[in-house]
Structure 1
Amino acid sequence: MRHVYRLLASWPAWSAYAAAGWSALYGALGLYWALGGGGFPFAPVEDDRATGSILEGSQAGSVAPVMAAAGLVGVAAALAMARRWGRARTMLLVLGWTLAGTLALVVQDYTLLVLVAFAPFLLVFAFTGVPGPQEGIGDILYWHRVNLIIMFAGGVLWALATLAHQRRTRRACAHCGRGGKDAGRWTTPEATRRWGRWAVYVACAAPVPYEITRIAWYLGIPLGISDDFLRMMRETPGMAEVGLGCALASIGGAVLTHGLIRRWGEVYPRWIWFRAGERVPPALAVVPASLVALAAIPAGLMNLRMGFDAGRTWAMNGPGVLWIVWGAALAAAACAYGLRRRRPCRHCAPATGQEVPAR
């Protein structure tokens, strides 16, 4: 386990090479699909095997060549970052962040949010089988969805590689971002406490319309939907219950989000008797919050693409559009929490005058 932690902690050293490897493999797949190979992950399929991706239903002849070209360019750019090439800094950063955002946010749908929300159930279903008409876990994680997860992983690798290159080329520490000519006051504990508090408030408020409508549907109130849709929902086993469960999970998430600005989010409270009074590891809050934020934004973008009726059926997709705001605010809140609680960096402490605490 210690070796895994050390590997993850050294991400500035390997992230660019990993992004280059990912780009090479996916670019090769793009070339394969462009030449007529089977398994193109955005090809038109039956509705029960389709996703809500912006590329869903596209033709391999038009999209696959772009994938191949992007993969080739990505390999060259990632290797330039790995070799710490300082020239063409702006071009490399724009390309890197564009690839990261496209892969992790733009081409995604609600798949990531479903995985985050139902991960414990999927683990159980893998052994017990999926209840209902599905024949197995493959009816949930089919190829079109798995491909989106692979693309999301590539987006994360590109974000890490670009962040490390951005920090290095401004003469800052690649691990923590301290130092450098562009260091700002917004990263100080006082500043992060101030803007982080507002980010938490927004992150808690944005999902409220979704929570209210789903609870109302479970109680038989057609809030923002037609009577026919409510009747269909109540006649479909488990449909209203799933909506209620998602709303309750969202409410629970809002409670946990408050921990990013409360003392119990930094020191274990008394009711956690086996760790009471001990310091909460920052990663225990930052990592889950960041994952939920990254999952919420593409789900909100999907709802925005689908559109919604401002009339009687506004609640079908309308509240989901606010997930964009929710994800962005939650990401900002997690960032503020991490900046406020970060310890002296063992990689750059001597150079920046930080005091490394004794172990």
Structure 2
Amino acid sequence: MPIPLNTSTDSGTAPPPEDAGWLVWARRWPRWAPYAAAVWGGAYAVVQAVWAVTGTTVPLTPDDSYTSATQGVLAGMGVVAAGAGLAATRTWAGWRHAATTVSLCAAVLVYLLGAASLPAHFVTLASGSGVESATGLANVLLHAAGAGLLIPATLSFWRRHRNQCPRCGRFHEGRSSGALVHPAPSVASRRTRTAVFLLMGGLLPWAGVKTIWTLGGDAIGVTAEGWRDSNADASGIVKALASVGIDVTVLAAAAAIFLLLGLMYPWGQVFPRWTLLLAGRRVPRLLPLLPAWATAFGLSLYGVFILVVFVPLTALGVFPEMKPTGAFTTSSGLLWMAAFGGMAFTGLGFGLVLAARSYATRTRPVCAGAGTPVPAPAG
């Protein structure tokens, strides 16, 4: 059986040199992640309560803001998250285990939903457009941090309940905070690669139309002149890219495609020769996984809502007809662009989900005390 989380595996001597400093701290994440999640939950509850009492405006969408009542509910959710984090430091049975599991899962879902707009904020900042709302960005970052702490806390809690090593997830005895053995670099399975490339194809209509506009063409009721006029107040970076036919959001999608390829091929596990000084070194596992996880959920959620709910119900007349706005001169053109956006974000989001899952499976290390891992599984 693996060593429980609160049981020391050391013999009373200092850790070896390779386990010193930040490395040993990182390797012991199952021990501190639940406590960190609990501290974060308390801080989050205080922030939401202060915003509610002071009437601080925190945007929910470009047109709506959180109400004080909603912020009060979120503050209560922070208290629940703090309690669940503390409960996750122990192994429970019966209803206590069920209550802890439900609380952790509910908190993770709430904070993932709250962080869904993180990709949009990233593109806005990267384009040099500045911060539209400081409290809005702070709120999204708070939610992202909460999800980022509660997910590993939940993972370690589940693994300990199943008598697995809380860190690597294998069944083994001995230390769970020593060195890790990593699988050899590998390629994602043919099925995964095929699915991801098909999903990436959803970007083509959306990126194609935007490229036509930036290159001076007309499409779906938008003229090149109208497109330029609608972006007259854009940042210098956006205008510079548009002058050479590159839309900043298409460039961001290209960066996501680069991430997708890295998740599926060996150069995402070992730095290739063109990275110069880093060439041949192992890529830190979280380096591609964190941005993939941080963007996949929001893109998938937004894309599915637009493609499956908003566009069909608008076309059927259930939702009000979209009024032409900005560079758009027809409602149908605006609806087509919404459909193209839904296809793009759905494809990119689910592509990241599949590629990140494959990468996480293929690169999953094992504690050195458990022996040499088997070759990387197909993913």
TM-score (normalised: structure 2): 0.68
Equivalent position amino acid for 2:335 in 1: W
Displacement of 1:209 in angstroms is 3.1
CA separation of 1:16 and 1:53: change in aligned 2, threshold 3 A: farther
Against the structure 1 CA distance between its residues 76 and 269, is the aligned structure 2 distance closer, same or farther, given a 3 Å change threshold?
closer
Tell me, yes or no, if the aligned pair for 2:188 and 2:264 is still in contact at 8 Å.
Answer: no
Inter-CA distance 237–287: structure 2 relative to 1 (3 Å threshold): closer
Residues 1:77 and 1:103: Cα distance change in structure 2 (over 3 Å)? same
- The partner residue of 1:173 within 161, 165, 170 is 165
Cα shift readout 1:188-246 (whole Å, capped 9, x = no counterpart): x9996355424532453343333222212212334345449536325555566467122
* Matching residue's letter, 1:87: G
What's the secondary structure of 1:317's corresponding residue?
helix
Alignment correspondent of 1:259: 262
* Greater length-normalized contact order (CA 8 Å, ≥ 6 residues apart): 2
Partner of residue 320, structure 1: 341
Structure 2 residue aligned with 1:99: 107
Please give the per-residue CA displacement for 1:57-97, whole angstroms capped at 9, x wherever unaligned.
3421x313322332333332222112232333344223312
Distance 1:304 1:29, change over 3 A: farther
Write the distance in 1 (CA, Å) between the matches of 2:28 and 2:346: 31
User: 2:80 maps to what in 1?
Assistant: 73
| Bigger Rg, structure 1 or 2 | 2
After superposition, the CA RMSD in angstroms is: 3.8
Per-residue deviation, 1:316: 4.1
Q: Which residue of 1 aligns with 2:33?
A: 15
Q: Secondary structure at the match of 1:82?
A: coil
- Note the C-alpha offset of 1:98: 2.2
Whole-angstrom CA distance in 1 between matches of 2:23 and 2:299: 27
**Which residue in the other structure is 1:38 paired with?**
54
Equivalent runs, 1:199-348 vs 2, <5 Å: 199-202=195-198, 204-227=200-223, 230=227, 232-233=229-230, 235-237=232-234, 241=241, 244-294=247-297, 296-297=299-300, 300=303, 307-308=310-311, 311-322=332-343, 323-346=345-368
DSSP 3-state at the match of 2:335: coil
Which sections of structure 2, spanning at least 5 residues, go unmatched? 1-19, 173-184, 316-331, 375-379
* Amino acid corresponding to residue 159 of structure 1 in structure 2: I
Secondary structure in structure 2 of the residue aligned to 1:77 = helix
1:278-334 superposed Cα distances (whole Å, 9 cap, x missing partner): 544433333333333245345547857994565321354333334244223313312
Structure 2 CA distance for partners of 1:254 and 1:291, relative to 1, 3 Å: same
Report Cα offsets for 1:108-164 as digits up to 9, x if no partner.
Answer: 453x21454466666xxxxxxx7xxxxxx5x44511221221122112222221122
Q: Which amino acid aligns with 2:100?
A: L
Q: Which amino acid aligns with 1:342?
A: R
Q: Which moved more, 1:252-261 or 1:166-175?
A: 252-261
The amino acid across from 2:349 in the alignment is G
What is the aligned-residue identity percentage?
26
CA distance in 1, matches of 2:231, 2:50: 46
**Structure 2 residue identity aligned to 1:321:** G
TM-fit CA distance, 1:18: 1.7
Letter matched to residue 220 of structure 1? G
